[in-house]
Amino acid sequence: MSRLRDFLIGDPTATRIVPPSGFTAVLTIASAAAMAFLAVFAIALHLATGELAARWEAELAGTATVRIPASENAEADAAAVLTALSQTPGIVEARRLTDEEQLVLLAPWFGDGVPLDRLRLPVLIEVLETDAGPDVTGLSERISAEAPGAVYDNHSRWRVPLANAASRLRQLGAVSLLLIAGVTAVTIALAASSALAANGQVIDVLRIVGARDGWIAAAFTRRFTMRAFAGALGGTIIGMIAVALVPGGVETGVLSGLGFDGLQWLWPLLVPFVAAGLAFGATWVAAARRLKEDG
Amino acid sequence: MIELDKVAMSYGGRTLFQDVSLSISPGSFHFLTGPSGAGKTTLLKLCSLELGAQSGHLKLLGQDVQGIDRDQIARMRRRIGVVHQDSRFVDHLSVAENVMLPVAVSGRSTDVSGDLGELLGWVGLADAAERTPPELSGGERQRVALARAIILSPEIVLADEPTGNVDWDMSLRLLDLLIELNRLGKTILCATHDLNLIRHAKSRVSARVLRIKDGAVALAGAGL
Ligand SMILES: Nc1ncnc2c1ncn2[C@@H]1O[C@H](COP(=O)(O)OP(=O)(O)OP(=O)(O)O)[C@@H](O)[C@H]1O
Ligand SMILES: [Mg+2]
């Protein structure tokens, strides 16, 4: 713990050994900022798609609809299907939608006051499945036998691809995070390495006055860790503001999940610390190698 | 304190020394003189472990330096103050910070800021503490280098033409500093062309003169 404190505070001269500005400083700060910005979005994507997949699963799982085509026999068919459903294991409840409910469903397309009696509408039966659900193949066969043209639809046709898409996006979010971390580490290692190369004179001077390689490496590492932290903090804040400004709400549908809720805001705040950790490791390794080489 | 035993040194096939043996005892004051290009700087760099000898043995501070590791070299350098002929500094740090570098790298937290002011005054740079090395003249840089070399009170001081760029009065002042250090028991090895300086020193301390010529190092007689 005291070593960590020593590292963070350091000796003022040791911290100032590394030239305060220059190309490598700009490179480190700017790339840490850009990567942090991207990381915030990747985290948002990862969280949002996870929720989206869960929500779609939850809303649609366990429900099904039987559609009986409009015909003269539709009423009789509906009664036969309801009976069949009541005898099938795996079904909790089956209920024919009332005319009012069908009106509500149609309102977005036809407006209010649709003359139902003059439209030839299919009969809809809403089905609630148990967790295990029915044997869908057997049930489908039985329903089409009772009512020709009737279809048992448990939404899997569009639920499965949506869930797949959501989980693929989630994976992409995670892969992006890994790539961002890798690129950040490599960029900072290169910046640190070229800073060491550009400061050959400083290093020679330090050696003459008796600095150990470890001391020199620590001075560079501290400087680069601080720079990466500062850059990443800036990038994270801008990224969080940008995510907060993404238009939300139910109307935007798929995008409504992109954002952070409550405690989720803590996740992006980890980004600057992770960036600092990566910078620490990358600079330390780069410095140790470089100093050993030109010994 | 410094012992060379049959040391040979060459640069890219050109032999500079063949068989140099030399013993400098603790608390002594030696000048190193000889024509330009004879190898004075090279010899001092062997003693500060900046160069390695091709063959032979070097003993510093009672320790054989053959095969010592880098951390040991670093520790040893804190006990040896070095003033180069062309001293280099951390150019973006102030003169005061440069002089304090040996303290910073040694990890000592003891307060030496009082010593710093006194030391800078002694080398005539009390007013230059907040300037940076690129703003200094050649002679001022030499004096900063000397202050940096002795801030940790090292056991050995290796000085390469420390008075190369300063006027006679300042030369005498720097010589006073070296003589004072010697009186405090430090071992001094100082390369110089300046025979007047050597004469002046010999009138004040028992300094000896090593003359380096044609790949050999010999103790010069009373007449230089
Ligand atoms: N790094 C090097 N590579 C090749 N030759 C070198 C190198 N350093 C010094 N020399 C050569 O070694 C010889 C001795 O150099 P050195 O600097 O030790 O001389 P010096 O006695 O200090 O001279 P001066 O009085 O001019 O400072 C010179 O001929 C020089 O050219
Ligand atoms: Mg020389």
Q: Which residues of A touch B75 (CB under 8 A)?
A: 210, 212
**DSSP-derived pairing of the beta strands B207-213 and B29-33:** parallel
Residue B16 and residue B46: Cα distance in Å, rounded? Answer: 12
Q: How confident is the model at residue A257 (pLDDT cuts 50, 70, 90)?
A: low
Q: Which residues of B touch A13 (CB under 8 A)?
A: 93, 97, 100-101, 104
Q: How confident is the model at residue A64 (pLDDT cuts 50, 70, 90)?
A: confident
The complex's ipTM works out to 0.88
For A193, residues 6+ apart whose C-beta sits below 8 A from its C-beta are A286, A287, A289, A290
Q: Is the CB of B40 under 6 A from ligand 1?
A: yes
Quickly list DSSP for A205-226. Answer: HHHHTT--HHHHHHHHHHHHHH
State phi, psi for B23 to the nearest 5 degrees.
Answer: -135, 120
| Ligand 1 pocket mutation pick from B7, B9, B11 by most atoms within 8 angstroms of CB | B11
**Residue found by looking up tokens 């003891």 in the block:** B110
B102 C-alpha to ligand 2 centroid (Å): 23
Highest mean pLDDT: which range of A105-109, A112-116, A223-227: A223-227
Q: Is the pLDDT of residue B117 over 90?
A: no
Cβ(B33)–Cβ(B211) under 8 Å?
yes
Q: Is the pLDDT of residue A250 over 50?
A: no
Residue A12 confidence (pLDDT): 66
Helix-helix angle A213-244:A156-198, to 10 degrees:
140
Ion ligand 2: protein residues whose beta carbon lies under 5 Å = B 40-41, 85
Residue B60 and residue A23: Cα distance in Å, rounded? Answer: 41
pLDDT for A156-215, tens place per residue? Answer: 777 778 778 888 888 888 899 999 999 989 988 888 888 888 888 889 999 999 999 988
Four-residue CA torsion sign, B34, B36, B37, B39: positive
Q: What angle do CA A291, A292, B1 make, to 5 degrees?
A: 95
CA separation (Å) from A288 to A24, A217, A220? 18, 6, 10
Q: Which ligand is nearest to the CA of B160?
A: 2
Residue A251 confidence (pLDDT): 47
Q: How confident is the model at residue A112 (pLDDT cuts 50, 70, 90)?
A: confident
Instruction: Domains for chain B: give ranges and CATH numbers.
Output: 24-52+70-210 (3.40.50.300)
pLDDT for B136-194, tens place per residue? Answer: 988 899 899 999 999 988 999 999 999 888 889 889 988 988 998 999 899 999 999 89
Residue A66 and residue A56: Cα distance in Å, rounded? Answer: 20
Amino acid sitting at position A275: A
B-chain residue closest to A291, CA distance? B70
Residue A108 confidence (pLDDT): 77
Q: Which residues of B touch A204 (CB under 8 A)?
A: 88
pLDDT for A25-62, tens place per residue? Answer: 888 899 999 999 999 988 988 888 887 777 777 777 77
Q: Which residues of B touch A205 (CB under 8 A)?
A: 88-90, 101
Q: Do B78 and A17 touch (CB under 8 A)?
A: no
Provide the 3-class DSSP secondary structure of residue A135.
coil
Q: What CATH number is given for A63-153 in this structure?
A: 3.30.70.100
Tell me which residues of chain A have a C-beta less than 8 Å from any C-beta of chain B: 11, 13-14, 16-17, 19-20, 201-202, 204-215, 295
Q: Quote the mean pLDDT of chain A.
A: 83
pLDDT for B50-98, tens place per residue? Answer: 988 888 889 999 888 888 888 899 999 999 999 998 889 999 999 999 9
Cβ(A72)–Cβ(A207) under 8 Å?
no
Q: Where are the domains of chain A?
A: 2-57+160-294, 63-153
Cβ(A170)–Cβ(A49) under 8 Å?
yes
Q: Do B104 and A204 touch (CB under 8 A)?
A: no
Q: Which residue has the higher pLDDT, A32 or A129?
A: A32
